[in-house]
């Protein structure tokens, strides 16, 4: 069976037809290459998110007591000034960030002033408009983490002791999403003095990566 036409071309198709098919083939090849690159990039992004999710779900040292500082920076949810100030003295971070409601802003300013006096870098106080909205706390904690990382502080822990419960939940979610540790200060409360007894304070790990 002769596949060559009288014009000397396969199937008798014209040279312009073959040139057109060649151009279509090149175009299809380019499109496939772009799609392959995009698919590979998308897969990498998805895997990175999955890896972060998995790493955030497998923490060691849950509930264990922290004796010394292992973090460059702390993010505090502020209710009262005593516990964050005690924690700063105990762990001696290089930087802190403060999240406070309207009610706790005076306490946050006091913590910030005390920290700046001893040379700590301070972010905030950042204002939480609705302390009962965990989504706002999550968003503001994420912002605080980003600001600290912009300044080169990578080892960050979120202190979820203060603030209302929705604030703590939102901050905890932000910590897991960003791969940061979460800690809590457990202390007895003196009803007469109406403040925590710092002599009984212990730093507990809620979700910490790696060994303490």
170 neighbors 135 (Cβ within 8 angstroms): yes
For strands 189-190 and 195-196, give the pairing. Answer: antiparallel
In terms of domains, do 77 and 39 share one? no
124 neighbors 148 (Cβ within 8 angstroms): no
Task: Tell me if 38 is assigned to some domain.
Answer: yes
Position 76 scores a pLDDT of 92
Tell me which residues of the chain have a pLDDT lower than 70.
1-15, 17-18, 21, 40-69, 190, 193, 196-198, 210-212
Q: State how many domains the chain has.
A: 2
| Whole-structure pTM value | 0.66
Interatomic CA distance for residues 130 and 196, integer angstroms = 25
The SS3 assignment for 134 reads helix
In terms of domains, do 34 and 134 share one? no
Range of the domain at 31: 1-58
89 neighbors 67 (Cβ within 8 angstroms): no
In terms of domains, do 49 and 98 share one? no
């Amino acid at each position: 069976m002769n596949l060559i036409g009288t014009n000397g071309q396969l199937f008798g198709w014209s040279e312009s037809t073959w040139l057109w098919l060649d151009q279509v083939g090149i175009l299809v090849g380019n499109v496939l290459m772009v799609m392959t690159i995009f698919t590979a990039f998308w897969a990498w992004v998805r895997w990175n998110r999955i890896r972060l999710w998995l790493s955030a779900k497998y923490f060691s040292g849950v509930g264990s007591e922290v004796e010394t500082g292992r973090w460059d920076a702390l993010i505090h949810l502020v209710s009262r000034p005593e516990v964050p100030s005690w924690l700063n003295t105990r762990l001696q971070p290089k930087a802190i960030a403060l999240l406070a409601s309207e009610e706790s802003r005076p306490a946050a300013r006091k913590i910030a002033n005390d920290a700046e006096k001893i040379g700590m870098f301070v972010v905030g106080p950042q204002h939480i408009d609705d302390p009962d909205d965990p989504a706002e706390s999550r968003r503001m904690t994420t912002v605080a983490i980003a600001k600290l990382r912009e300044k080169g502080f990578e080892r960050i822990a979120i202190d979820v002791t203060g603030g209302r419960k929705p604030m703590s939940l939102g901050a905890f979610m932000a910590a897991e999403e960003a791969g940061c540790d979460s800690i809590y200060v457990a202390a007895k409360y003196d009803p007469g003095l109406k403040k925590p007894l710092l002599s009984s304070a212990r730093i507990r790990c809620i979700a910490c990566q790696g060994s303490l």
